[in-house]
Amino acid sequence: MEYQKHFFSGGTPRTITIALPSDDLTVKYPAVILCHGHSRHKNDGLDALSQVLTGAGFVTARFDFRGCCDGYDQRYILNCATDWPEDLMNAISYIGTLPFIDKDRIGAAGISMGAATSVYVSGMDERIKSTVSMGGIGDCFTWMRGVWEKSGGRFDDFLARLDRDRELTAVTGHSQVIHSLDMYNGTEEDKRNLLIEGFLNSDVNTYVTLASLRNMLYYRPLEKCPNIRNPIFFAHGGDDLVVPVEQSRRMYEAVASGRKQFKEYPGVEHNIPMDPNRMLVFEDMKQWFTETL
């Protein structure tokens, strides 16, 4: 059973989907908050993960971060380094008000930028008792530089474009909006395919502001890893062509927790919740949360 509710973050309402393992609300359940990736949305495979976890007795909560699925006054402003951690912490606060949630058994799991945010918040919010990172990013600057170098693009030109936009934003009050895949120096074919996906599913973000990319560029969840004391599991696709596996491995090595795990999945690509082999990861996640929450 799923219920659509709302919580507030940064003064804006966020839609949150609460999925229950049963209709018995007289007991307290452990809960896992599921976090989507950059330019994606709460049902981008996380609905399937939710079914696996609710089947194991967990309540799940998934929501859209600010900038995703918003009205057009805020859409495309994806301030991952500032707004997204606040959104996750406010989601934790919200589910903590639900009488059927055990506030001492709350976990977080994310994919890509949602994984980065789950790790980042785990390093400063002790209410998270267990974490799973899927294809997470520990250092957005080194990651983006590597993406541009791999594609043959000029990363310095991209940085200069961000600097010019910062000046124009100061003058006009508006940051330039670009195709989401221009942040990766994406191919024309990939950009066309994303536009089609966005046409078929309006929850998909096909554009992003340059100002929010500046915000993201200096996001370093890796810096929070030495503060993480709760159990944490890093899962990464062996065929991930978007985020190098070294990003997860570096975070794993930096974590202070006495219980941590790193696992690479051969044949699995970046967007694990949408991968044909996702159940390999989902089953491990279910086992992880069963043991640690």
Q: How confident is the model over 8-33, as pLDDT tens digits? A: 999 999 999 999 999 999 999 999 99
Asked whether residue 85 falls in the same domain as residue 226, the answer is yes
Q: How far is residue 65 from each of residues 7, 38, 177, 186, 234, measured CA to CA in Å?
A: 12, 9, 18, 23, 22
Instruction: Report whether 117 contacts 85 (CB < 8 A).
Output: yes
Question: 151 versus 53: which is more confidently predicted?
Answer: 53
Asked whether residue 56 falls in the same domain as residue 127, the answer is yes
Nearest-angstrom CA–CA distance, 146 and 140: 10
Asked whether residue 108 falls in the same domain as residue 162, the answer is no
pLDDT beyond 80 at 260: yes
Tally of CB atoms within 10 A around 20: 17
Residue 279 one-letter amino acid: M
Helix (H) or strand (E) holding 228: none
What CATH number should be reported for the domain holding residue 108? 3.40.50.1820
pTM (2 decimals)? 0.94
What pLDDT shows up at residue 70? 59
Its domain, for residue 244, covers 2-139+220-292
Domain end residue (candidates: 213, 236, 255): 213
Residues 141-151 pLDDT 10s: 999 999 999 99
pLDDT beyond 80 at 162: yes
Residues 94-139 pLDDT 10s: 999 999 999 999 999 999 999 999 999 999 999 999 999 999 999 9
Instruction: Report whether 260 contacts 251 (CB < 8 A).
Output: no
Q: What is the mean pLDDT of residues 237-247?
A: 97
Please give the tally of structural domains in the chain: 2
Asked whether residue 189 falls in the same domain as residue 120, the answer is no
Beta bridge partners of 209: 177
In a 10 Å sphere around its CB, with 0-12 CB exposed, 13-18 middle and 19+ buried, how is residue 118 labelled?
Answer: buried
